[in-house]
Chain A
Amino acid sequence: MNNLFKYILFGFMALIFATGDISAQGKKTTRLQVEYYKNHDKMEMLIATLIAKERRYVPLAGAMIRFYSVNDTSKALLEELVTNDEGKVVLKINDNSKIFYDPSGIMTFEVEYGGNSSYKSVQRQISVKRANLDVFFFQKDSIKSIEVNASEIGPDNLITPIQGLHVRFYIKGTFSLLDIGKEKTDQYGNARIDFPVYMPGDTAGVIKIVVKIEDDDDYGTIESRGEINWGIPVKVIKKERRGLGDTDAPLWMVYTLIILLSAVWFHYLYVIYMIIKIKLAR
């Protein structure tokens, strides 16, 4: 399962304890969770998840969610989107000219579900600073290491290193990310871990490394990726065998069967030939 998902769930937990009681009008309680996520293509997005209390909390699909950018004085509508079956809605926010920045470069968003006759309205605010995360690989003799650089993007694209940020290192698996380490960035915004030994890669030995800042109070979730052929190449056996469990039978079995059957049927044919000869010899 996606780790992202896990964090959304932690968000739920926070919400479960944060939101008020059942409304007096008998409308169903709704909860909204908002996350800022910057993926490895440097695409920034806001992910909002809406759940409603039926018997238990379930995702609310088809609900209209409004996204605003706010500052001290103004509020600008960015987009209106409808939640999918998982109650989720995703808004891309790259290069959106409507977004307000405060003097220190902080963006503040307000996300809102208006509610209707059955569900209560709900609102969330989120503030983030924009940051970059970059991954590098180093090899010195037999020591292989992965390094990450984290930097803040201030106003006018001024870049400054971030110190003391928790960065997590993962190897991308089929279903999930395999945690291979956690490190704090130093004063230059760098964090480094050793590459694990005997790690299988794909057929060419390539391993996908994912580094993440996860659900940071200031920077949200930022992800970066890199590929390196440090893995042990996996031998993928092309299965064209002939065996008991395969589509094709072992050859000896085929031959034995053919020999046995043809021996018997040859005699049958010979006997039928004898019968024909009886007929002809009258």
Chain B
Amino acid sequence: MELDQKATRTLNFFTAQMVTISRYGIIRLAVLLIFVLGGLYALIVQIVKGHIVTGMRDNVVWGIYIANFIFFIGISYAGALISGILHLLRVKWRTPIIRIAEIITIVSTLIGPAYILLCMGRLDRLHHLALYGRIQSPIIWDVLAISTYLIGSIIFLYLACIRDLAALRDYPFKNKWRNKIYRFLAVDFNDNTKQNRYLNRALDIMSAIIIPLAVLVHSVLAWIFGMTLRPGWHSTIFAPYFVVAAVFSGTGVLIIAMWVFRRYYKLESYITKIHFNYLGIMLMILGALYAYFTFSEYLTSWYGSETWDMEVLYKLFDPEEYWWWFFFAAIIGVVLPIIVILIPKFRTINSITAVSVIAVLALWVKRYLIIIPTLETPLLPLQDLRPEYIHYQPTMIEWLLTFSGVALFCLIFFLFSKFIPIIPIIKAEEGKNYAQLRKTVMERIIKRKLKETKMKESQKIEHL
């Protein structure tokens, strides 16, 4: 495959990073592995002893596993919606960030459902879903939607990688196995007109189909809760609420990932402040939308003040129960990102990333607050003397598995980055050029404006 000079330079830049690993890289990898192994240990304990090792009991039947599940499926939106929409709109600056977004999608869509499996009491009967599946159950909708979504995301990422895979295929690696894999995956792509036409068509189809699919996946997820007769769950806006929350958190995670790769892979010339600004503004808009949904949801249930709705609300607003978590999740985690990004003075790469971290954490807490207080509020009075049946408290096992999920997410992401350049090589320069172009255009505009003002001033002087 023919490459121009700039693309060749990028290719060399990334292949050098792909085949080596720094000492810090090894330490980071080791830390991640320790966390993953910790999770493995917790998993074995849970399989041997049963779910008695978790904090879940007959009232709170779902715990942080389900919160993690929603969280990971939520951040998978980064790739689906963001890269899908940006691709369809032919937004030029998207190029350096879409691959990161798409990898987030796939990794989180792999890890999210794993939490559902952890939550299942009888993992050995997983095949019953295929044997006896009832399509009336939202869980079956979820199984179908998520598996379809995962396959779609993999196809989408693969299509977006074909050009790079072709370039990598022709790159002389020391290890020949790499070339072999790339050769297999590159499907003889050599950049001819016909191939480009097919590839672009396929990309357009996938980016168009992945958007409604992503919306559906998160709606179905919301319906697991919405379809029940429980206070705080049985709400019609749950589906769009979940979708908005998901895009919000997906954008946040994308910003964090950009910051991490920019820092450790030295991508300052590719991922620039413009990307952070644009995504930051997106985060701000989504945050506002999310705040609107939150406000609408709680205002409605407070105003109507049904018995059980009020019970859940009291728990959320009670300083001895969930108030501080709720304050963080629904107020700090939304208002802070909006304020920081709204005011241009505060808008820096680091500050945008920092508020993204807060937003993502807040969103995790919000998922916790959606699940636990409702389950702690059964319709019939909870008259149990066993404290663990009244209040849910995640156990060490659950935390271990949670952190190992996050670690696994980082680990798989890391491995991906060693296999495929996390910035598209072929189109990358376009984006970079665009940034420079924009810079020069802006400079020109500023110059012209300065000229105009000078002229006006001189005219004024003349006038005087």
Contacts and interface: CB of A to CB of B under 8 A. Distances in A.
| Direct A–B contact in complex, judged by CB atoms less than 8 Å apart | yes
Interface of A: 243-247, 249-250, 253-254, 257, 260-261, 264-265, 267-268, 270-272, 274-275, 277-279, 281-282
A253 B195 contact: no
Contact of A271 (B192, B195, B206): B206
Contact of A247 (B134, B190, B194): B134
Interface in B165-202: 187-190, 192, 194-195, 198-199, 201-202
B188 A282 contact: yes
A265 B148 contact: yes
Nearest to A282: B188
Contacts, number: 66
Given A268-B151, A268-B155, A275 B144 contact: no
Contact of B188 (A245, A271, A274, A278): A278
B189 A271 contact: no
5 tightest Cβ-Cβ pairs between the two chains A and B: A282-B188, A274-B202, A281-B194, A279-B187, A271-B202
Contacts of A260: 216
Interface of B: 134-136, 141, 144, 148, 151-152, 155, 159, 162, 187-190, 192, 194-195, 198-199, 201-202, 205-206, 209, 213, 216
B456 to A, nearest CB: 57
A261 B144 contact: yes
Contacts of A270: 202, 205
A249 B148 contact: no
A278 B198 contact: yes
B152 A253 contact: no
Given A277-B198, A278-B199, A281-B195, A267 B205 contact: yes
Contacts of A250: 136
B202 A253 contact: no
A248 to B, nearest CB: 9
B148 A281 contact: no
A249 B136 contact: yes
16 contacts: A243-B136, A249-B134, A250-B136, A257-B141, A260-B216, A268-B151, A268-B155, A270-B202, A271-B159, A271-B202, A275-B187, A275-B198, A277-B194, A278-B162, A281-B198, A282-B195
A274 B206 CA distance: 11
A282 B192 contact: yes
A271 to B, nearest CB: 5
Given A247-B134, A277-B198, A264 B209 contact: yes
B343 to A, nearest CB: 42
Contact of A282 (B134, B136, B141, B190): B190
A201 B209 CA distance: 59
Contacts of A279: 187-188
